[in-house]
Structure 1
Amino acid sequence: MKLSEIKEILATAEGVNFKLENGISVPAHFHVTEVGIITRDFIDCGGTVRHEKVANLQLWDADDHEHRLKAGKLLHIISLSEKVLGMEDLEIEVEYQAETIGKYDLGFDGENFLLLTKKTACLAMDNCGIPAEKQKVEMVNLASASTCTPGGGCC
């Protein structure tokens, strides 16, 4: 999800709720402790220099059980971040504390924002020596094949 998409949702949302893919809800008293830009420059295993930039939201589960972030407040925080940081319409990455700090993509199911699992991947499949996945071929049903039958002399 891009910043423009979350802003569009927040403009008409009644509440701000986050859920993990496994259905567990982020406690309603969470705080957004950071909105920023994360830039990552790296070289992949094939030697290609890469540059990534994402908008980052950090969620924190505090002991402030009276706190409820309203959609308008989050929209204001995002707008201020765009203005002050010169933030572009970037893809959003969410940080949330699980056993360690987890990084998630962001989705929306019409009611809740979804913290979607991110996965690692090789970005240089053609250069790193990992074989391509073999194509799966459907086996012929030998019982109905007419080319070779018992006593037919084909075997």
Structure 2
Amino acid sequence: MKTKELLNILEGNPGKNLLFEYAPGLLVGANYHITEVKNVTIDSVDCGANPDFWKETIIQLYESPLEKDKREYMSAYKALSILKKVDKIKPMKRDVEVKFEYSNQSFHTAQLFVNEFQIVGDNLLLKLGVEQTDCKAKETCGISEKAAEAVSACAPGSGCC
């Protein structure tokens, strides 16, 4: 999902509670806060020696231990107001991927993609998920699409890495 899509969804659902599903059936606690918004630039070289460059928006969610018994979720309106305030200080790129950074005691820190959103009663539910790492230089590395499905890393000595 692009940043502009997220902002439009929040704007279109201001009275909804904003919930995040970080794994199937598991929700970020109602005690979450938006603690950081990052404008990230990735300037990389893949294992086939191909340069790449892109930008992302990363929104960090943090569950406050001081509010662990909280039951009311942040509204989409409040989340949008936070993002608008950030945007005035550090403008967000609208046409870039948005991810949510999250962890808890039983879930490692991860940058999660927005796979879909649902309106469920009074709730706006963002379903988050991970993507597996990938070899972007499959042809250079001699990895067929079929092999890439079976193996997620380049083999030593393949000329890939």
Larger radius of gyration: 1
Q: TM-score category by the smaller chain?
A: 0.7 to 0.9
SS at match of 2:142: coil
Moved more, 113-122 or 65-74: 65-74
Contact 1:103 1:118 in 2 (8 A): no
Q: Matched residues, percent identical?
A: 28
Partner of 2:103: 97
Query: Taking structure 2 as the reference length, what is the TM-score of the superposition?
Result: 0.75
Gaps in structure 1 of 5+ consecutive residues? 135-155
Aligned residue pairs total: 134
Query: Taking structure 1 as the reference length, what is the TM-score of the superposition?
Result: 0.77
Contact 2:19 2:73 in 1 (8 A): no
Distance 1:69 1:122, change over 3 A: same
More helix per residue: 1 or 2?
2
Aligned CA RMSD, in angstroms, stands at 1.8
After the TM superposition, which parts of structure 1 deviate over 6 Å for at least 4 consecutive aligned residues?
A: none
1:28 corresponds, among 27, 30, 39, to 30
CA distance in 2, matches of 1:51, 1:35: 20
Q: Deviations over 1:59-100 (max 9, x none)?
A: 111121447422112111212222321221121011110442
More strand per residue: 1 or 2?
2
Structure 1 residue 43 corresponds to structure 2 residue 56: no
Contact 1:30 1:61 in 2 (8 A): yes
CA distance in 2, matches of 1:127, 1:27: 44
Contact 1:32 1:58 in 2 (8 A): yes
